[in-house]
Amino acid sequence: MKSYLFHILIFINIIFCEAFDGLTLVTTMGNGQNGSTTTLIDNNENIINSWVHETGSASIGYLTKDSILFLPSSLNDNGTNGAASGGLFRKIDWHGNTLWEWELPTDLCIAHHDIEILPNRNILSICRESKTMEETLSAGLVEPDEPLSLDMIIEIQPLDNNQAEIVWKWHFWDHLIQDRDSTFTSTYGQISEHPELLDINVNENWRTSDWNHTNMISYNENLDQIVISSRHMDEIYVIDHSTTTEEAASHSGGRYGMGGDFLYRWGNPQNYNRGTEQDRIFGGQHGIHWIPDNYPGAGNFLVFNNLHQTNPNRSAVLEFENIADENGYYYIDDQEPFGPSTYQWIYLTSFYAPTQSGAYRLPNGNTLLTVADDAEIYEVTYEGEVVWEYNYPANNSMIARAQKYAIDAFDYQPLLGDINGDEILNVLDVILVVNMILGSADIDLNGDMNNDNGINVLDVVLLVNEILS
């Protein structure tokens, strides 16, 4: 049924070749106090709303249906990933008021790159932890020059009074394997027999300072699974979110019985000795996106593959099939890599994006992609036709990833007294209210400042007082 619906939507889209009529959310990146801006625009580039942030964004903001902007913000000198540094989490309302903010203690871990907003409004965040040299050696890492730094996932529950609680954790550290030294029994094993674990001795060039470089996270509510993208491993990983923190640190428990081990991985099977360099598909990828229900390609994965080809360097957007069964279980044949063998759709770009960037499937079957370094956004059809594009007007700006929402996606209230819709209360709004009273303008109850279901001189007085205050 999904396949049938997918092809119908694609057929309709090819016929009409139209851009999705929606609102695009664009967040500029910045380091620490350099600041950033989030802007919501329509297809005609009219600004629907904007938020100015005194600190930079670590990646992108997310708007929820109740019009709350969740923003991972940068901290100065937190020691990781430059502009992608995070650590300060904010909830901001439609009018720019900060409803909640919380700074992650850096002695717990270093937040960076992406977040994901769960249905319960908790926040999943990528975080980096460092191990001691003793711990690094005891895990079986061969001849390390420095202690190992690797990523983890934390779930943050916002609390009142700008407080928060970390209610769930998952660590790469708990799911390692090596075949170099049998004396380290906790990690020793045959790597090809354990695709659910990560070989601690792969990716030697990055293993100490930035081993995983996890750069994006996406959540599937139906399966209660998380998918993350590891740029330096050239892989994506699916893990079970239904586990407790204790189960997530083990190899059993949770909905799928595997604890925190990988349920699925794809992109570079040589990492678990079931392929060669020729089998590697990803190259420094970003932007893993789990396509939502009722969208063309629902349940599949969409990835912005930054270095898809060389000579010349080119980026691509890839869609590949999710092989999980209806219950969310992934199967792998003995000594074979996880399927599928290749992607089922590609948009090979004419440009190369070395950092950040991403792609999202839209309800009409189009795909929205962002070229981060150039701050350019494109909407392309399934046939590869560009039907909408946007170039951010400011120079030297980086856009990690843009998102596009339906016109009616948000439940927000306009600023009371803002009659002309410019999000500013001034004398122009007073004139419009006076014209309503005089009968020369239609009644707009957004000018009803005292909520008495009428427009009169009291509303003018209250609006003037609001402006003066």
**Cα–Cα distance measured from residue 309 to residue 324, given in angstroms and rounded to the nearest whole number:** 28
**Cα–Cα distance measured from residue 131 to residue 173, given in angstroms and rounded to the nearest whole number:** 9
**How crowded is residue 210: how many other Cβ atoms within 10 Å of its Cβ?**
19
* pTM across the whole model: 0.84
**Cα–Cα distance measured from residue 206 to residue 265, given in angstroms and rounded to the nearest whole number:** 20
Q: What is the CA radius of gyration of the chain?
A: 24
Q: What is the pLDDT of residue 192?
A: 96
> Which tokens sit at 450?
């005292």
> Which tokens sit at 445?
């109850």
Positive or negative: CA dihedral 266, 272, 274, 278: positive
Q: 3-state DSSP call for residue 40?
A: strand
The answer to whether 462 touches 429, Cβ cutoff 8 Å, is no
The answer to whether 369 touches 304, Cβ cutoff 8 Å, is yes
**How crowded is residue 11: how many other Cβ atoms within 10 Å of its Cβ?**
12
Q: What is the pLDDT of residue 15?
A: 45
The answer to whether 214 touches 113, Cβ cutoff 8 Å, is yes
Nearest to 448 by CA among 440, 351, 67, 458: 458
CA 311 → CA 5, 69, 169, 276, distances in Å? 38, 41, 41, 21
Q: 3-state DSSP call for residue 157?
A: strand
Q: How many residues does the chain have?
A: 469
- Please list the pLDDT of the chain residue by residue as tens digits (469 residues): 444 444 444 444 444 569 999 999 999 886 555 678 899 999 998 888 889 888 888 888 999 998 999 999 887 654 454 556 778 999 999 888 899 999 999 888 889 999 999 999 999 999 999 999 889 888 888 877 788 889 999 999 999 999 999 999 999 999 999 998 898 888 999 999 999 999 999 987 666 678 899 999 999 999 999 999 999 999 999 999 999 999 999 999 999 999 999 999 999 999 999 999 999 999 999 889 999 999 999 999 999 999 999 989 999 999 999 999 999 999 999 889 999 999 999 999 888 898 889 999 999 999 999 998 888 999 999 999 999 999 988 777 888 899 999 988 888 656 778 888 777 889 998 999 999 899 888 787 778 888 677 899 998 999 898 888 7
List of domains in the chain: 2-406 (2.120.10.30), 427-468 (no CATH)
**Cα–Cα distance measured from residue 297 to residue 240, given in angstroms and rounded to the nearest whole number:** 22
464 — phi, psi (to 5°)? -60, -40
**Cα–Cα distance measured from residue 212 to residue 229, given in angstroms and rounded to the nearest whole number:** 9
Could you tell me the end-to-end alpha-carbon distance of the chain, in angstroms, rounded to an integer?
58
Contacts of 414 (CB under 8 A, 6+ apart): 421, 446
Contacts of 341 (CB under 8 A, 6+ apart): none
For 459, the enclosing helix (H) or strand (E) is helix 457-468
DSSP per residue over 49-115, as a string?
Answer: EEEEESS-BSS--EE-TTSPEEEEEE-TT-SSSGGGB-EEEEEE-TTS-EEEEEEPPTTT-EEEEEE
